[in-house]
Amino acid sequence: MNNERVTALLEWINSVSGVNVLFIRDFSTVENVKLLVKTIHLIDKDSDEVLPGYDDATVEGLVGFIISSLEGIYRQKLDGIVINPNLITVDADEVEIGKVIALMLSAAVQCENANYFVKKIQSFEESVQYQIKEIIETLLQQVEHGGLDASAITKLLKHTTGKNKEKQELPAGTDCVESPLPGKSPTETLFSSSPFLSLMSSPQLKTKQHQFTMNKLHQKVSKLQLSLDAQMHMQATLEEELADKCKEIDVKDTKMKELNKDVVHLKMVIDELESTQHYKADYEKLERESERMKQRVAELEAFREQSCNLDERMADFLEKKAMFKKSVEDMEQLKTKCERYKSQLHEHEFKASELKAALERRVKDVERLEKERDEALFAASEAMELWKARKSVEIPDEEERDGSPVDTQHTNLDSRIIELEFTNEKLRAQLASAIDPSEVQRLNDALEDAEQSKRSYETIRNIDQNNKLSGIEFSSPHLGKVLDRHRFLSMLIPLQTHKIASACDLGMFFMVLPPARTQESQSF
């Protein structure tokens, strides 16, 4: 924007509002927009009653109120055509705010309170008055030529006019005399005290002031006409309602006449009723008799319904009685079965106690036999040592030639089995941490091979031990008998244990059976 125009507009609005706003864009806040609203109230006193909720109003509402007030003053649509309110409220556009203040300035020098604003402008410097004069002249010329133009106002605020350029190009010390407005003599313009007073004393501005007053009067007349139209409409509505009420009154009068006729007829009927009063007693007597008979019929119906209900209840009772007899017979049978099961239970409990005692004896025999087995194994080890000593004495050359193959082979088998166990553990650890499917398959195959090798070595070791035991049995007949008895008991003990456990389970079954049967009989 033109700095001189901005300075002139700021000085004018600050002098009117009594504050010191530094920049044009500051008038986009609520507090500063309220200053513009107060200035509108000074220009147009009739606008005080138009803005409700002034304290809680927003920037959008206040700007809309200002634009609508200016539209009433200039009698032209401004919102969205000359002024864009969105640029003021959202972007704080200086040009749009300058348009609003310029239109307020032009309206201020034309209103009824123009003397107040003129005195404020007279206190400014001549350069400021000159800028204000140019703004007012441009806006008045636009109004005279058909209405305000947004592009022309924007150009006025942004660019310097030709007159101002010529004035700036004059040499220092040269006075510049402004060209007078149409209808004003050059002498009057030359001797005017200031550029702004020359504008204010021009007939054109006087005409604009009168036109502004006429516009205000026209607005008041329009408001009064609207009020009169509303009152006329209300009067017509009331007249229509009055006509409707009159029609309702006529209808009610007609209805009252008909009711009077009905009353006369009713009186005649009452007279006839009094003449036939003796029939009323007979009628009432018949009514009472009829009511009594109806009550008697209702009682008989209730009695018949009760009789049917009793028949149904009797049939249900007989059916339940038969079911109860059958239940009693079944209960007697259940009692007999329970007594039989109890006797069987006692027998099985006695057998179970005997089997438990036999089991305890068998356990003691097993412990004794295990002790004898340990003694036999100890004797077998001693016999093995004797046999080895004898063999070493009998065939020393053969032992030297073979290099003690039995012991060496036994030692090699044990060490190989231990190595295979370590290998299996290592493979299991690798298998637990493996992720790749091919690696997992490879480790599984290796683990199966190692397990099979271990089982093969264990089988060979067991065969070797059995061969040694066979040699011990052959060398010691007593030790062979002990081992045969140990094998027989090893096969016999699991069989006896299984029989005793089965008998105990059967006893527990019969111990649980009578309560279950008792519960079944109760539910039955």
Mean pLDDT of 263-275: 83
Instruction: Report the pLDDT value the prediction gives residue 202, as an integer from 0 to 100.
Output: 66
Cβ 92 vs Cβ 25: under 8 Å? yes
CB atoms within 10 A of CB 395: 12
21 lies in a domain?
Answer: yes
Residue 480: predicted pLDDT? 52
* pLDDT at residue 194, as a whole number: 63
- What are the pLDDT digits (tens) for 286-334? 889 999 999 999 999 999 999 999 999 999 999 999 999 999 999 999 9
Number of compact structural domains in the chain: 1
Q: What is the domain-level CATH number for residue 32? A: 1.10.418.10
Q: What does the pLDDT look like over 254-268, one tens digit per residue?
A: 899 898 888 888 888
Euclidean distance between the first and final Cα of the chain, in Å? 108
Q: Which residue has the tokens 């029989």?
A: 499
Residues 56-92: tens digit of each pLDDT: 678 888 888 888 888 877 877 887 777 877 888 777 7
pLDDT of residue 55: 64
**For residue 113, is it within any domain?**
yes
Mean pLDDT computed over 147-164 = 72
Higher pLDDT, 166 or 344: 344
- Residue 115 counted as domain residue: yes
Render pLDDT for 458-480 as a digit per residue (tens, 0 to 9): 787 777 766 665 555 444 454 45
Say yes or no to pLDDT of 176 above 60: no
The tens digit of pLDDT for each residue in 87-112 reads 887 777 888 888 888 888 888 888 87
Would you say residue 328 lies in a domain?
no
More confident of the two residues 511 and 284: 284
In which band, very low, low, confident or very high, does the pLDDT at 405 lie, cut at 50, 70 and 90? very low
Lowest mean pLDDT among 13-17, 115-119, 495-499: 495-499
Task: Name the residue type at position 340.
Answer: R
Inside any domain, residue 133: yes
Supply the pLDDT for residue 17. 82
- Residues whose CB is less than 8 angstroms from the CB of residue 447 and which lie 6 or more positions away in sequence, other chains included: 424, 427, 428, 431
pLDDT over 80 at 14, yes or no: yes
83 beta partners: 79
- pLDDT of 299 reads 92
Domain span at residue 52? 3-158
Whether 447 maps to a domain, the answer reads no
Instruction: For the chain, give the percent of residues with pLDDT over 90.
Output: 8
**Domain contains 194:** no
Question: Following DSSP, what letter does each residue of 53-101 receive, concatenated?
Answer: --TT--HHHHHHHHHHHHHHHHTS--BTTTB-HHHHHTT--HHHHHHHH
Helix, strand, coil % over all residues of the chain, rounded to 5: 85, 0, 15
Q: Is residue 461 part of a domain?
A: no
Per the CB < 8 A criterion, the answer to whether 341 and 513 are in contact is yes
DSSP 8-state symbol, 182: T
Q: CA torsion angle for 14, 15, 18, 21 (degrees, to 10)?
A: 10
Q: Is 157 or 331 the better-scoring residue by pLDDT?
A: 331
